[in-house]
Structure 1
Amino acid sequence: GLWDARLEALVVDSILTGEADEELPSRIAALGWHGHGEVAVLVGTTPPLFDVDQLRRTARKLGVDVLIGVQGSRLVLVIGRAQLPGRAADDITAELPFPEIARRLEPGFGTGYLVLGPTVPALVDASQSARAALAGFAVARAWRNAPRPVEADDLLPERALAGDPLAKLTLVDRIYRPLQAHSTDLVATLWSYLDNGRSLEATARELFVHPNTVRYRLKRVSEVIGWDATGPREALILQTALVLGAIGTDSTRRRPPAARRPR
């Protein structure tokens, strides 16, 4: 049992650091990992009386397998969809989304923030989910009303402000570039709407269009990227993405000084 616990801690640490070696698959197999599909990493605090067996039983009922790592006050779960022995292949719990799985595992954690990393296709990609979850856990206190659990991608503005390069890239790739590629009118309307305090009338006046046109364009923004600018939290996410996108464009970068002509 102690050897298994040390081996599991070693595997989780390898996933968190992204320093997987050739022995990692055999170590995971030795732990009896039943995962065969999507994976997500959940990071929270370790409870004073941690019942690891109860946490595994709960995970089993949800149709997932877990790798558990206790790092002092921090508790890390690597969650993978699994066909566990004795469970029907069409069990409804196997179809639960990871946010719901995290919500049901939440009682096994201590007080404080609980952050779920994005879903990745397989265990070999788990370090990507872990990196986002750890970055989100580090800044979760900056969102005053953060839910528990909260998804790491919902903390993209805080992560970007803290200097997380993955968050910056995600915001630009998921929001700024798709909007820019779809229509410059959508970008201009979104900029104006956010700069004018999310006022339809003020935006319409600035753009010399009807308020219904602004409504239509904001609806298109939501359809293109999946975020709704009319909500305060999502407006913060979108405005951060616009700022980062503008900083990263060629037109806003400082141009090199012109070469001096010889006299």
Structure 2
Amino acid sequence: MSWKLRLETTLADRAAAVGTLSCLISALSDMLEATVFLIGPAGQVISRAVPPGASSTAIPTLERLESPEGPVAAGAAAGVVRVDGGRTGGRDYMLGSVVDGDHLFGWVVTPIEGSVSVAHVQWAVDRAVVHLTAEFVSQRRIARVAWNARANLARQMVRSTTYDADLRACAEYLGVDLAADRVIAFVLERGRSSGSAVDAGRLGDLISEDLDVDILTIRGTEGVILSIEAPAGVGNATVIARCKAAVNKGLDRMGDRFAVAGISSVTRPGQLRRAYREAFEAARCLDRYPSESNRAIACDELGPARLLVANSNEQSVRMYVYDVLGDLLAGGVSNNDLLRTLQEFFDSGRSVRDTAVRLDVHENTVRHRLGRVHDITGLDVAANSNDQLSAQTALLILRLQGHHAVPGFGRVAR
């Protein structure tokens, strides 16, 4: 049996094995008697195989492999690339791209060494690329089917108040725990009604990796919905804080500067429709009143006033703020302490004692400042419930706008 026929037979046999990508790389390595790498389009090592008795070969970076001396275009036949200097010591490599259409899956790289001729190495790499491409395409199709199945399950969970037998069977097949409490995160881009620019799959993977929990992802017409499983035995406030931090971190890692997110409360099964509305309203608040300091916000931080802020005319809301607190804002920095004290008063449950502790001042100082607020604005926030609601709603807008005198969301006040 000729060498080429043995290689093609081996590759075909390995293509039917479990862990096909690594099996194909291993088969190519055995036949070439050389180290073979499969690296991703970003330069990460996907698989590596070293023949028995051989020492592992260091692989140069993609930048050096694609040097002017001999770059190989994506989709072209495998070619020789010369890399000089460094740890490679001036070595020739065979480089072949694994491409389907305009999608680059990765590169096959092997040093040209041993008894196999350069022509045979090129032919072998080209044949391996054919089998690797077929495997990548197959895995991509399977992943899309699985992703779509999980997305459809998530949609039914959000829409349904009771879970029927078909939905339970689908969840069992996909390994989704229907009995777990969940948090809904709604992600959209500022100034747009569509979340198409947000990479839903990648964002879900990043958050899942960070939280180590199951996440169902839906790409909708209005944005991206993430259904995040709440771990058992962890307090709700802690779960919300972790989800918010993970969403912020995920958006940062994706380099997405425009997307904003709303986080629902921890919600029991069958009530995810309400959680979706909470997260959507919270995200809308950030979308309508953007600031550099706020990328994700929990509905619990906004309270019921989020409904007004998310759905009212923007100009009317801004006018409302100045109608309620305009005299305080017009006073400039001299009234910053009054605004901060007012916010801390509400954050502490309208407790003068707790407000004093938060601000590290005497209780009488807090009472004096609340009296000054009454004198300037006419709001009796210490005793009148209507005035309290008015002031809290106006302060909410200032916090969303990132006003310097008001403690921001998630920040500890001085």
Name 1:14's counterpart in structure 2. Answer: 156
CA shift, 1:55, in A, is 3.6
What is the aligned counterpart of 1:116 among 253, 259, 262? 262
Q: Residues 56 and 217 from structure 1, CA distance in 2 versus in 1: closer, same or farther, beyond 3 angstroms? A: closer
CA shift, 1:17, in A, is 3.6
Name 1:131's counterpart in structure 2. Answer: 277
The reply on whether 1:101 has 2:250 as its aligned counterpart is no
Name 1:64's counterpart in structure 2. Answer: 213
The 5 A counterparts of 1:153-232 are: 153-155=300-302, 157=305, 159-163=307-311, 194=325, 197=328, 221-224=346-349
Does structure 1 retain, via aligned residues, the 8 Å contact 2:184–2:264? yes
CA shift, 1:52, in A, is 2.4
CA shift, 1:217, in A, is 9.1
2:248 maps to a residue whose letter is R
Say which is worse superposed, 16-25 or 140-149, in terms of deviation: 16-25
CA–CA separation in structure 1 for the residues paired with 2:393 and 2:200: 45
Task: Give the TM-score normalised by the residue count of structure 1.
Answer: 0.52
Calculate the aligned-residue CA RMSD, in Å: 4.8
CA–CA separation in structure 2 for the residues paired with 1:16 and 1:240: 34
CA–CA separation in structure 1 for the residues paired with 2:215 and 2:198: 19
Does structure 2 retain, via aligned residues, the 8 Å contact 1:8–1:31? yes
Query: How much identity, in percent, do the aligned residues show?
Result: 11
CA shift, 1:121, in A, is 4.3
Say which is worse superposed, 46-55 or 127-136, in terms of deviation: 46-55
Cα deviation code 1:184-221 (max 9, x no counterpart): xxxxxxxxx9585278xxxxxxxxxxxx9xx9998654
The reply on whether 1:80 has 2:190 as its aligned counterpart is no
What is the aligned counterpart of 1:152 among 299, 304, 307? 299
CA–CA separation in structure 2 for the residues paired with 1:138 and 1:112: 13
**Bigger relative contact order, structure 1 or 2, given CA contacts below 8 A and separation 6+?**
1
Name 2:201's counterpart in structure 1. Answer: 52
Does structure 1 retain, via aligned residues, the 8 Å contact 2:157–2:272? yes
CA shift, 1:68, in A, is 0.6
1:223 maps to a residue whose letter is S
Does structure 2 retain, via aligned residues, the 8 Å contact 1:116–1:133? yes
Q: Residues 161 and 217 from structure 1, CA distance in 2 versus in 1: closer, same or farther, beyond 3 angstroms? A: closer
Q: Which runs of 5+ in 1 are unaligned?
A: 84-88, 165-192, 200-211, 244-263
Name 1:142's counterpart in structure 2. Answer: 288
CA–CA separation in structure 1 for the residues paired with 2:289 and 2:341: 30
Name 1:177's counterpart in structure 2. Answer: none
2:299 maps to a residue whose letter is A
Tell me which protein shows more helix as a share of its residues: 1
Q: How many residues align?
A: 191
CA–CA separation in structure 2 for the residues paired with 1:238 and 1:19: 32
CA–CA separation in structure 1 for the residues paired with 2:390 and 2:196: 37
SS in 2 for 1:5: helix
* Higher Rg: 2
Q: Which runs of 5+ in 2 are unaligned?
A: 1-141, 189-194, 313-323, 332-337, 356-365, 370-380, 382-386, 395-414
SS in 1 for 2:279: helix
